[in-house]
Structure 1
C-alpha cells in the first residue's frame, strides 16, 4: 500500500511539474527546424506561419534551415531534440512518410519520435520543363520523351522527397522513362532548370511562384486532382490523359517526443487561429498554397493515409533510401 501511494504521489508530482512548465511556456524564442534550404515551398510556408505564430505565442519563431538527405537531416535533428516546446519541425509530410516506408536505415521512428501538432498547408505540384524543350503540352512532352534515345532528366529536392516520388509515380502512370537528378532542396533544382542543366521538375507551386512569367521555363500541368485556384488555366495531369494521377504535398508542424501535451495543444490551437488571419491567407495564396490546419489527431490520420499511398508507389519503384 505504501509503495502504491508513493507511486501515485510521484506521478502526481510529475504531472504538476509538467502543467506548471506548460503554463510558463514560452519564456524564450522557439526554434522551428525546416529540413530544406531557403527558397522552396517548405521554407516559404514555414516562414509565413512562423511570423504569425510567433505573434500569437508571444515569442519569436527562429527558422533553422537544416538541409540534406531529402529532408532527413532536419527531421532527425528535431526527433533527437529535447521535448521542451522550444524545438518544432515544419516539414513536408510526404517526405517524412516516404522515408518511413522506403528508408533502409531509420535514425528515428516517425510514429514514436515525433508528435503531430497541426497540418499547415496543402500544395499542388506542377510539371515544368526548360523553355528550350520543344513541347508545349503534356501530350507533346510524353511523345517527345518517349522518342529520346537517352531519358530526359528530372530534378528533385532530394532522394525520397515528394518531388522525387512524384516523378516516380508519373513514370509509372504515364509509362515514360525519366532519369532522376537529386538536389539538396527545391531552390538548387530550380536554378538548374532555369539554366537548362536539367529538362524537367515536378515542383511545388510556391517554389515555382517566382518563375511563372520567366521565359526560361514552361509549366505544363498541375499534379492535384483539381485545378489550382491560383493558376486555373493550368490543366491537371488527369485532364491531360495521365489517368488517376493525384498528388498534393502537405506541410505540417511536429514536435519531438516528450513535448507536454498541453504545449502541443496550445501550438495546434494557435496554428488554427492564425490560419484565419487575412494577412496569412493572402500570403499563402500568393505562394500558391492552400491553408490546411488540423488537430493533432486529424494530422495523425492524414499522416497514416500518406504512408499507405507512398508505400504503394515505393513497392512498384523499389526505391531504397
Structure 2
C-alpha cells in the first residue's frame, strides 16, 4: 500500500511538472479588485506587457470591482489552479475585507498561493484646497471643533486608506464621516470636486494632483520624507506615533497552482521590475517597484496580518 501511494505521488508530481513545462499555452488573466485608474490597476497594467513578452502569451488585465475587493478575490480563489488566473492583490482585498465584511469567502493563507510583490506605495493625507487646514494638527483641531462635519473619502471599506483614517480617529479622538467608494478613482474625483474634504491616498494616484496644486498634502505615511514631496512631513513627524504604512500590490494564485509556475512568474516579474523604464514609471507615480520570492511574500503577508487584523477586530470595523 505504501509503495502504491509513493507511485501515485510521483505520478502527480511528474504530471504537474510536465504541465508547468508547457505553461502558458493561452492568455493569462490578472484580475484587479478595483476599477481602472487606481493604484492596484496601474501596477497590473505596468507589469502585464513585460510578462506577456517574457512568456509569449497575452497577460490580460480584468477589473472586477466591488465588496471591498472581495468579488475579485473570491473569483480568483475559486478559479482553476492552472496558472491562467491571478489576483492582483492589495492589503485591503486580501487581508482585511473578509473580516470587515464578515464573509469567510477566502483567506489569504488558506485559499491562495503567494507569488510576488509588485510595488510598495506610501500614502499621503491630502485635503481639498478650500479646507482651511495646512497641517495634520490643524485638521485634527478642525475636526474636533466641527465634529462629524468633515467627510473622508475612502476607496472602500477595509482598504489601507480606510484603516489609516480609523487609526487616526482612534489616536486623536477626532470625529469625521467616512464616505466609501468603489476604488481610488471615484473617490479622488469627488475630492477634486469638493464633495468630500480629505482622504488618505496612494502616492501613485495622488502625486499628479498634488504637483498641480489641485490637492494639498499634509503628511505622508512613509518611514522618512519622500523625494517627490520633500517639504511634506511624515505622520510620525506630525506627532502621530506608529503611523508608518505602505500599500503593497502583489500577485496571488489560487491554492494548488503548481509551484513551478509560481516560481516562473516570480522570476519573470523580478526581471520586469528591474527595467529602468518600469522603475522610473513607478517612481514617477510615487511607488517603489519591489519583487519578492513566493516564500518572502508569504512571510510579509503573515506580518501584515498580525499587525492589522487585531486592530480591525478590536475597533469592531465592519460594513454589516
**In which range does the TM-score fall when normalised by the shorter chain?**
over 0.9
> Which of 244-253 and 196-205 deviates more?
244-253
> Which of 99-108 and 165-174 deviates more?
99-108
Alignment of 1:29-40 (within 5 A): 29-40=27-38
Q: 1:236 is matched with which residue: 234, 237, 249?
A: 234
Q: Which residue of structure 2 lines up, in the alignment, with residue 246 of structure 1? A: 244
Q: Which residue of structure 2 lines up, in the alignment, with residue 143 of structure 1? A: 141
Please say if residues 92 and 158 of structure 2, whose CA atoms lie closer than 8 Å, have aligned partners that are also in contact: no
Q: Which residue of structure 1 lines up, in the alignment, with residue 65 of structure 2? A: 67
Please say if residues 69 and 92 of structure 2, whose CA atoms lie closer than 8 Å, have aligned partners that are also in contact: no
Q: 1:257 is matched with which residue: 243, 255, 266?
A: 255
Q: 1:124 is matched with which residue: 119, 122, 125?
A: 122
> Which of 277-286 and 170-179 deviates more?
170-179
Q: CA deviation at 1:94?
A: 4.3
Alignment of 1:1-321 (within 5 A): 3-321=1-319
Please say if residues 78 and 88 of structure 1, whose CA atoms lie closer than 8 Å, have aligned partners that are also in contact: yes
Q: Figure out how many residues of one structure are paired with residues of the other and give that number.
A: 319
Please say if residues 173 and 245 of structure 1, whose CA atoms lie closer than 8 Å, have aligned partners that are also in contact: no
Structure-2 separation of matches of 1:213 and 1:68? 30
Q: CA deviation at 1:156?
A: 0.8
Q: CA deviation at 1:246?
A: 1.1
Runs of 4+ in structure 1 over 6 Å off: none
Structure-1 separation of matches of 2:318 and 2:126? 26
Cα offsets for 1:244-267 (capped at 9, x unmatched):
211111111110111100001111
Structure-1 separation of matches of 2:168 and 2:98? 21
Secondary structure of the 2:48 match is helix
Q: CA deviation at 1:136?
A: 1.7
Structure-2 separation of matches of 1:20 and 1:315? 44
Q: CA deviation at 1:100?
A: 4.8
Structure-2 separation of matches of 1:27 and 1:214? 45
Q: CA deviation at 1:127?
A: 0.5
Q: CA deviation at 1:213?
A: 3.1
> Which of 4-13 and 69-78 deviates more?
4-13
Q: CA deviation at 1:149?
A: 4.1
Structure-2 separation of matches of 1:109 and 1:176? 33
Instruction: State the Cα RMSD in Å.
Output: 1.5
Q: TM-score, normalised by structure 2?
A: 0.95
Cα offsets for 1:215-234 (capped at 9, x unmatched):
43211111122122322222
Please say if residues 152 and 198 of structure 2, whose CA atoms lie closer than 8 Å, have aligned partners that are also in contact: yes
Please say if residues 35 and 72 of structure 1, whose CA atoms lie closer than 8 Å, have aligned partners that are also in contact: yes
Please say if residues 93 and 252 of structure 1, whose CA atoms lie closer than 8 Å, have aligned partners that are also in contact: no
Structure-1 separation of matches of 2:114 and 2:87? 10
Structure-2 separation of matches of 1:314 and 1:149? 23
Structure 1: stretches of 5+ with no match in the other structure? none
Secondary structure of the 2:72 match is helix
Structure-2 separation of matches of 1:107 and 1:156? 23
Q: TM-score, normalised by structure 1?
A: 0.95
CA change 1:149–1:142 in 2 (3 A) is closer
